[in-house]
Amino acid sequence: MFAAFYDFLACDLQWWPILKHNDLRFMKRFFPAAFIFCLASCLSVVASAQAKVPRRTVLPASLKEVSGMVRTPAGDLWMLNDSRNPPELYRFDPEAGKVLEVRRLPVLNRDWEDLTTDDRGNLYIGDVGNNRNARKDLRIYIYNPQTETLDSILLSYPDQKAFAPADRKDWNYNCEAMVFFNDSLHLFSKNSFKGNFYTKHYVVPARPGEYVAELRDSICLKNRVVTGAAISSDNKTFSLTGYIIGKRLGIFPYTKASVFYFTDFQGSDFLHGKMEQRRLPKFLIARQYESITQWKDDCWLVANEGRKPQSQAVWRVKGKKNQPLSSGLTLKMK
């Protein structure tokens, strides 16, 4: 590599013959060091650019129950809170750590749980939280921040016959995770902690109307219930967040949280891609992570709700590694 560097100088720099005769040995010592210095400087600049978003940014009290966020094609990061909060959208700058704008919508927030976007900048607000598995008014709002147009999608699940099922082990009609892909919205159920840890993949058209969702797929994520979903801007990486709450020896509480990255999937068969699981940051006990979005390239953001003694915050996490991990069990739905 250095020999080619010398050849370049000998051919293209007019002053090279002078140096060549006077101090060639000096140049051979100088240029490798200069090359390494320049390379290190470039890497430092790249690292500095990637570190613009802090590893952890504490959110204001107005976002204490953050449950959904998404970065739009225009580069805006929008966030929302779940039930018992006003029907508001927050435009947040994770680099400066401040709220830029608040939009209040003329609708109810029964249980907003996730937020996704399409290539036209429409926001899809998933009012699909269903902790008691008894709701019959599940809805997804379609809102455009530029035009301020607002519409909605009503949906139901094809396999739910009881509201709620008699056995809590069958409570798998809650939903806190949703992404837009092509012309459809893809929803992923949050199972009961007493269930079998399967998340179900449902699909509805991304246009106003009333629909019975299509049950397309499912996957078992051992000891995790799904709380958030996102897809990369190039549609090549799909992600889910999940956590578990329990007690050791029936006394000592514990939680664990993870993000699952899926790649090499065909079309919208996200759950049949190569999967990698990564643990999310914790302090004594894991935080209640409920949302994820890609920020840029392999930089992703996850957010946790505020639960004492932990504050609500946005975290910068890395994307998928090169080596896949296949720890999930998939069951194709026909």
pLDDT in tens, 112-166: 999 999 999 999 999 999 999 999 999 999 999 999 999 999 999 999 999 999 9
- pLDDT at res. 25: 54
CATH of 51-332, one of 1.10.10, 2.20.25, 2.120.10, 2.30.30: 2.120.10
Q: 92 has which bridge partners? A: 77, 99
Residue boundaries of the structural domains of the chain: 2-46, 51-332
Query: Quick check: 327 pLDDT over 60?
Result: no
Strand segments, DSSP code E, in 1-122 are: 56-58, 66-71, 77-81, 88-93, 98-104, 114-117
Confidence of residue 277 (pLDDT cuts 50, 70, 90): very high
Confidence of residue 333 (pLDDT cuts 50, 70, 90): very low
How many other C-beta atoms are found inside a 10 Å radius of the C-beta of residue 202? 27
Q: What is the C-alpha to C-alpha distance for residues 79 and 102, in angstroms, rounded to an integer?
A: 10
Say what percent of the chain tops pLDDT 70: 81
Mean pLDDT in residue range 5-10: 40
- pLDDT at res. 310: 86
pTM attached to this predicted model? 0.82
Six token digits for residue 267: 């079309």
At residue 171's C-alpha, the angle toward residues 222 and 245, to 5°, is 45
Q: 313 has which bridge partners? A: 58, 304
Q: Report which listed range, 40-49, 50-59, 63-72, is most confident.
A: 63-72
Which residue has tokens 């009961």?
A: 192
Mean pLDDT in residue range 94-101: 96
Q: What is the C-alpha to C-alpha distance for residues 312 and 155, in angstroms, rounded to an integer?
A: 31
- pLDDT at res. 313: 97
Higher pLDDT, 28 or 222: 222
- pLDDT at res. 141: 98
* Per-position DSSP letters for 279-316, written without gaps between them: EPPEESEE--EEEEEEEETTEEEEEE--BTTBPPEEEE
